[in-house]
Structure 1
């Protein structure tokens, strides 16, 4: 997905670069799922079940920025994590882990506790979040889902 605030030359770039392009017409929180809107993605919402294991692959294009990362379930109304991270790395990307690399190819399990909080699309997202200590930049992406 592309917004007019993402650099066409660097769609995977840090959020801080996109925020520099924000004008008065921007009405989104760039630090919530990179500013992407549920309404723009309603046809791609994933229906999941409690206990389901989901496989992820991170297309690492900026791997020279060490920092930390996590994957959490986010309450989209409050932009807060629901519970603890589903997976986290204190050193990301970890070029020493692999092959296979467990920092770019990994699984998460849908917690049993989400059946009410995330029972319809637009309430929650699974958010991958990476903070680069080396250059103070934020990278993130989201997966819209609901627990059926």
Structure 2
């Protein structure tokens, strides 16, 4: 029953393009109850996952890597890889079912190094406020694939577009990850990756 418990507060998820979803590889790494929790409500927050995981013997923090894409695995999502080109405009749709004031950004994350490539593609200092209607531009917006990304994201599984919403006042963090590939551009060196201060499994991957 623990896996069916949902931490109810803010809830949100990227609905387009197709984001990573839970599956068998996630269950093997994060534990069966954590996977069941996310299969029943993929809109929930990471802290809720950790609450479920805290008393589960089959939760492997290192293998789960829960702060990267909520522990959702590329191996469960190989059929959902998007193909983009450098400089392409990509529409993003986010479904926010319950707001809570926080900050948010969308960034490209190198999944091997747990680092953000370049600068955030878009960011908000105040996001999904519960004191006013959520602006449409926080739910439907465009990002642009950097023209200087080079070959860093040429291989499926190496990069994700990460939507990151952090409601710090209530300690709730939401993520969605879109797997994608992109061919090389005019600058083959690509944008430098910004290393995250810590890449431990308990640390979120977030652009500063």
**SS of 1:89's equivalent?**
strand
Q: Which has the higher helix share?
A: 2
- State whether residues 106 and 120 of structure 2, in contact with CA within 8 Å, keep that contact through their aligned partners in structure 1: yes
Q: Does 1:105 align with 2:143?
A: no
1:113-132 equivalences under 5 Å are 113-132=148-167
Rg: which structure is higher? 2
Q: Match of 1:2? A: 22
Deviation at 1:136, TM superposition (A): 1.0
TM-score, normalised to structure 1, is: 0.89
Q: Does 1:141 align with 2:172?
A: no
Range with greater deviation from structure 2 (137-146 or 7-16)? 7-16
Deviation at 1:96, TM superposition (A): 5.3
TM-score, normalised to structure 2, is: 0.65
Q: Which has the higher contact order (CA 8 A, sep 6+)?
A: 1
Q: Quote the Cα distance in structure 2 between the aligned partners of 1:59 and 1:43.
A: 22
Equivalenced residues, count:
145
Match of 1:30 among 66, 88, 93: 66
Match of 1:52 among 65, 88, 106: 88
Deviation at 1:62, TM superposition (A): 2.1
- State whether residues 22 and 76 of structure 2, in contact with CA within 8 Å, keep that contact through their aligned partners in structure 1: no
**SS of 2:169's equivalent?**
coil
Q: CA RMSD in A?
A: 1.7
Gaps of 5+ in 2: 1-20, 24-31, 184-208
Gaps of 5+ in 1: none
Q: Quote the Cα distance in structure 1 between the aligned partners of 2:64 and 2:50.
A: 11
Q: Match of 1:20? A: 51
Deviation at 1:108, TM superposition (A): 0.2
Q: Quote the Cα distance in structure 1 between the aligned partners of 2:22 and 2:79.
A: 16
